[in-house]
């Protein structure tokens, strides 16, 4: 069966129009803002902000950062993820940076990219330095830390704070 010239040109024209449409539409879709997550933290797993945390990561899979949260490396400086927790969802967050302000219940951390988040610490917050438990009052301004916790609304609650060794 022979393809005539008009059919061939029509096919090329249709492919060109489709390609042009994709060329214009894909960047426009990628630039549109994504909706804010509406997940609310649940009470389940409250002491483990990353349910399948860094100690349970299988080879080839990684948690926050390249090598998992808190294991000497990684490139992630801050982020959030909505995770399934039983019948509900939790919004887990992490940040790596320098302490810029401290109070008896909060710490403000600034990441390398300039993002500054204030975290609330409570009785469930575990703070570690040199492989030992320490208190919030033992931290100091300019300490390099890694924090993991949950966010509900505008409040970030720290579950784990690790001072960089």
pLDDT at residue number 54: 44
- Spell out the alpha helix ranges (H) of 32-77: none
Outline where DSSP puts E strands in 18-105: 78-85, 88-102
Structure tokens at 67: 């090598």
| Residue 148: strand pairing partners | 94, 160
- Which token pair is 59? 């080879």
| 91 touches 45 (CB < 8 A) | no
Task: Tell me what pLDDT residue 50 has.
Answer: 47
Question: Which residue numbers in the chain have pLDDT < 70?
Answer: 1-3, 8, 12-16, 18-74, 165
């Amino acid at each position: 069966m022979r393809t005539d010239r008009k059919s061939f040109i029509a096919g090329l024209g249709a492919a060109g129009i489709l390609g042009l449409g994709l060329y214009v539409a894909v960047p426009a879709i990628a630039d549109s803002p994504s909706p804010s997550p509406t997940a609310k933290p649940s009470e389940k797993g409250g002491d483990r902000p990353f349910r399948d945390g860094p100690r349970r990561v299988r080879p080839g899979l990684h948690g926050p950062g390249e090598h998992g949260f808190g294991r000497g490396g990684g490139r992630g400086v801050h982020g959030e993820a909505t995770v399934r927790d039983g019948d509900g969802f939790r919004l887990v967050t992490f940040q790596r940076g320098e302490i810029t302000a401290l109070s008896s219940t909060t710490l403000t951390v600034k990441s390398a990219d300039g993002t500054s988040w204030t975290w609330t610490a409570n009785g469930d917050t575990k703070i570690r330095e040199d492989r030992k438990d320490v208190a919030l009052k033992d931290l100091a301004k300019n300490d390099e830390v890694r924090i993991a916790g949950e966010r509900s609304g505008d409040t970030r609650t720290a579950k784990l704070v690790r001072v960089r060794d």
